[in-house]
Copies of this chain bind each other. A is one copy, B any other.
Amino acid sequence: MQQNCSNIALVTQTAPITAPTHGGRAKCLQRLVRLDLPVPCTVALSFDMVHKIAANEVPSIVKILDNFETDDLLCVRPSSESSDWGGPGAVLNIGMNDERFGQLSAMLGSQAAAKIYLRFVQGYSVHVARLDPEMFDHINGQDEEAVIAALRAYENETEEPFPQDKSIQLAEVLRSMARAWEGTTARLLRQAKGAPTDAGLGLVVQKMVYGIGKGECGSGVLQLVNSDTGMPQITGRYRRQSQWRDALAQEQGALYLTRDPRGNSLEEVAPKIFETLKAQAELMRHRLREEMQIEFTIEDGNLYILDGIKIARLAPAAVRIAVSLADWGIIPKEEALMRIEPHALGELLHRQIAPDANRDVIGSGIAASPGAASGQIVFTAEAALACKSREEPCILVRRETSPEDIRGMYAANAVLTERGGMTSHAAVIGRGMGVPCIVGASSIRFHIQKKQLLSGDGRIFEEGEMITVDGTNGQILAGQSKMVEASLEEPFRTLMQWAEEACDIEIRANADTAADAQTARNFSARGIGLCRTEHMFFQADRMTVMQEMIFANTRTEREAVLDRLLPMQKADFMELFRIMEAMPVCIRLFDPPLHEFLPSDRAGLRDLAEALDLPLSDVTRRVESMKEYNPMLGLRGVRLGITVPEIYEMQVRAIFEATIEASHDRELIIPEIMIPLVSAKREVELVKSRIEAVAADVRTKKGVDFDFKLGVMVETPRAALRANEIASNSSFLSFGTNDLTQMTYGLSRDDAGRFMAAYVQQEVFPEDPFHTLDTDGVGELLMLGVERARKANPEIVVSICGEHGGSPEAIAFCRTYGFDYVSCSPFRVPVARLAAAQLAISSRTS
C-alpha cells in the first residue's frame, strides 16, 4: 500500500513531506508518526493535486482509498503552508451511509452510530452542498429518527438522495474544500495574514477514530503551557463520547484534564491515559522544538493522537515560550530570538485590550501609538487635568493637538484626534510618552464645540462618557474594555539581553524629557540619539518666557529674556546627563517655527496681550504676521538659528555649563550638538563658529575645559546631496527620515492622512512611506548622503533618528549601508533591538 506518487503521500512513508508541498499539518503528522505516536492512518494530498482538484480535475479516489480499510470512516482537514493562513473547515465521518449506520449501530449502539451519521450529514450539507445550517434546526435528539429527518431535509433541499458511495462522498469533499480555498474572501483573509497570492492548500485524509461508543470514549486537546502567559500549566479539556474538538466547542459537561475542585478530570477517570498524554506532549515539545497543542481521541480506552498544532499565543506567552525552550536547551538562543516577531513585541510594552473582550467598535483611525486605555471623554486639556486630579481616567479628544495640549496629554490615559497622520503632533508626542493614541479618526464626527462625538452609526457620546481607545489597531470602542497588562518581566528581560548580545548596530532612543530618558535606560538604550529641545519650552512657565522672547524687539531684549530660560535649560540637560550616566546624548538645537508658541484663538490672544501688557490689536497683528503658509518649509531649524542667533547661543551655553557641572572623575560628558534643517554648508559654518565662540567664552568664564561634538541633522534632500560639503564641518550626521520623506515626496505627514489609506489600497504606494522607509527614493538619498559624507570625512558617525529608526526595514537598510546607530522612540527600543538582532543572526547564518 506504499504510495509512490508524492501527490498522494502516506505519512508513514520514508520520503519527507514538506510544508511548501503538502502544508504544515501534513508535515507535522509525518513527524508525529516518526515519533511513534499513535496516529491513525493518514494520507496527505499535495498543493499541486488540490489545485488540480479545484480546477475540476478528478483525483484518483481509488489511490487514496487504497490506503485505508474498506470500513474505515475518514476525515479531511486542510493543510496550508502556515497554520495562520486558515483553510476550509474539517469534514468528519466520510464513508458513513445507511449500510454502515446499521453496522455501527450493532457495534457501538444505535445512539453512537446516529451521532456519527448525523455529524457527517450535517457537515457534508453545510461544507460540501453549501446548504443553510438552519435547515437542521428542527431536528432534536441524536437517534435514528433524527438521522432520517436530516437525510430528508437534505433530499428536500437538493432534490437528490444523500450520496451513499464513499468514493463519491470523498471526491465531493475534496473538490469542495479545494474550491473554498480559491474563493476571493478566503484569499483576501489569508493575504491579510501575510500569505502570498499563490499560497497553496494541501489536504490531509485520516482514518476516523470514533471517540463515541463503548468503553472509555471521547476526544480532547491538551497543552503544557498557558496560551496567554506561556507559564507551565496543563490546559485543555476532554469530553466523553465526542469527536474532534467538541470538548472545546461545548465546554459545558466537558472534563478538566488535571484534578480540579470544580469537577471531574481526565487525570481521575483515566489516570494512565493522562500520564501517557503528558509524556507524549513533552516528547512533542522536545522533538518538535515547540509548544504543541495535542488533539487526541480515546476509543474504548485506547489513546490516539490526531494532530499536533503549534499553540496560538499572545505576545507575552510567545516570549516566555521562546525563552523557556532556549533555557531548556531545546532551541539555541538565536532561534528563540528569531521566533519573536519584532512588531508583536510592541504588544508586551503596553496594556492591551484582552483578546476575549467584547469590542463595540464606534469608529477607527490611524493607530498612532500602541496600547489601550479606557476613560471618560474630555474635550480640553483643562478637563483632562481636572480628571487627573480626581484620579479618574480620561481620553483627551481634540480636532488636532498643539503644544498647548501637552500637559493635557500627559494627564490623559489616551489621546484621540480627528486629524493628523502617523507623525502628527499627537502621534509623535503620544509615542514618546507611551500614551495610546489614535489620530485621523475621520470615521467619527467630532463636535468639539458641542462636546460630542458622533459615531458612524449615529450614536452620540457626550463628554464624561466612557470609551476605550485601542492604539494598537486604531479602533475606538464604546465603554470600558477588559485589559491585559503590559508584561516586562523576566523572560522579556532575558530575551532583550540575548538580543543585545546578538545585535551589531547600536540602538539609541529619542528622548526629550527626563521621563523619556528613564524609559530609554529601562530598555537599555545605548544613549540618546535625538533630544528635541523645543519640547522643553512647552511647559506653561517657559511658554510665557518664549512668548516674551518672540515679542522682544531687539537682540538685547531677547538676550535678557533668554537669560531667564538659561538656568531652566541647564537643569534640563543636567538631568538628562545624570540619567544617561555619560552615555552619548545628542541634543538637537531649537527646531520649530516660533509661531508654534503663540496662541491662535481669541482667548489665547487676550491672555497673551495681558501677560505682555500690550494692546490686543498689536498682539493679534504680530501673531497674524508670523503665520506661515507652509510651516514645515518655513522659518525654523537652522534658519531660525541664523536669523535669531540668541536662541542657539542660550542653548549651547546651557549645554556647556551643564556639561561642566555634570562631569566628574568617573564620567566625562561629551555632549553632541545637532543642527536641524540644514540645506547648505554655510549654515553649518556660521552656526559652528558661533557655537565655538560660546564654548570659548564658557571655558574662560568657568576656567574649565570640556569637549563637545557638533553634527547635522540631514532632513532636506539638498543636505543629503551635498553631504560631502556638510560632513567636513561635522562629527556626525543623523538622517531625519520624517522630514526627508516629506520633502522627497513633497508630502506633508500631517496632511497625508487624508488620502494615504486610498493610496496604499490602490497600491499607488506599496506602503505608507511614513511607516515603512521608502528605500527607492528616500533610501537613495540616504545612500548618496552616507557615501559622500564618508568620502569627505571617513571618521564621521552616521545614523537615522526619524520615526523609521525603530522599524525592521529601516534597520536592515542601515545595517546594509554601515550606519553606526539608529535612534527611535524609547518604547520602540526593544522592537528595534530584536529586529537588529534577527538581522545580525540571519546575516551570520546566510
Contact = CB atoms under 8 A, between A and B. Distances in A.
Interface of A: 418-419, 625, 628-635, 639, 642-643, 677, 679-680, 682-683, 686, 715-718, 721-722, 739, 742-748, 750-751, 754-755, 758-759, 762-765, 774, 776-778, 780-781
Contact of A762 (B677, B686, B750, B759): B686
Given A679-B777, A762-B686, A777-B722, A628 B751 contact: yes
Contact of A748 (B633, B677, B744): B633
Given A639-B755, A721-B777, A762-B642, A631 B629 contact: yes
Contact of A781 (B629, B679, B721, B751): B721
A744 B763 contact: no
A633 B632 contact: yes
Given A630-B750, A642-B759, A682 B764 contact: yes
Number of copies: 2
Nearest to A640: B755
A199 to B, nearest CB: 24
A711 to B, nearest CB: 18
B630 A682 contact: no
A643 B753 CA distance: 12
A715 B758 CA distance: 22
Nearest to A718: B777
8 cross-chain pairs, A with B, having the tightest CB-CB distances, nearest first: A633-B748, A630-B748, A718-B777, A634-B751, A716-B746, A717-B717, A629-B750, A630-B630
Contact of A755 (B630, B643, B679, B743): B643
B635 A765 contact: no
A739 B746 contact: yes
26 contacts: A629-B750, A630-B630, A630-B631, A630-B633, A630-B748, A630-B750, A632-B746, A633-B633, A633-B742, A633-B746, A633-B747, A634-B748, A635-B755, A642-B755, A643-B759, A679-B745, A679-B747, A682-B764, A682-B765, A686-B764, A715-B746, A716-B745, A716-B747, A718-B777, A722-B776, A743-B743
Contacts of A639: 755, 759
Of A631, A718, A754, which is in contact with the most chain B CB atoms at under 10 Å from its CB? A718
Of A630, A677, A743, A777, which is in contact with the most chain B CB atoms at under 10 Å from its CB? A630
A340 to B, nearest CB: 33
A747 B739 CA distance: 12
Given A633-B748, A677-B746, A680-B764, 7 more contacts: A418-B625, A629-B631, A630-B631, A634-B747, A643-B758, A716-B744, A717-B777
A722 B744 CA distance: 11
Nearest to A715: B746
Nearest to A626: B754
A630 B754 CA distance: 13
Contacts of A628: 748, 750-751
A778 B739 CA distance: 17
Contacts of A625: 418-419
A711 B722 CA distance: 29
B739 A718 contact: no
Contacts of A683: 764
Contacts of A742: 633
A679 B718 contact: no
A744 B743 contact: yes
B629 A751 contact: yes
Contacts of A754: 634-635
A758 B715 CA distance: 22
Contacts of A745: 679, 716, 718
A674 to B, nearest CB: 16
A754 B631 CA distance: 12
Given A631-B629, A633-B751, A748-B633, A764 B642 contact: yes
Contacts of A686: 762, 764
A836 to B, nearest CB: 27
Nearest to A753: B635
Contacts of A750: 628-630
A626 to B, nearest CB: 9
A759 B722 CA distance: 18
A633 B634 CA distance: 13
Nearest to A774: B718
Contacts of A751: 628-631, 633-635
Contacts of A677: 746
A751 B721 CA distance: 23
Contacts of A718: 744-746, 774, 777-778
A759 B677 CA distance: 14
Contacts of A633: 630, 632-633, 742, 746-748, 751
A677 B639 CA distance: 26
Contact of A746 (B419, B629, B679, B758): B679
A686 B763 CA distance: 10
A192 B636 CA distance: 30
A721 B780 contact: yes
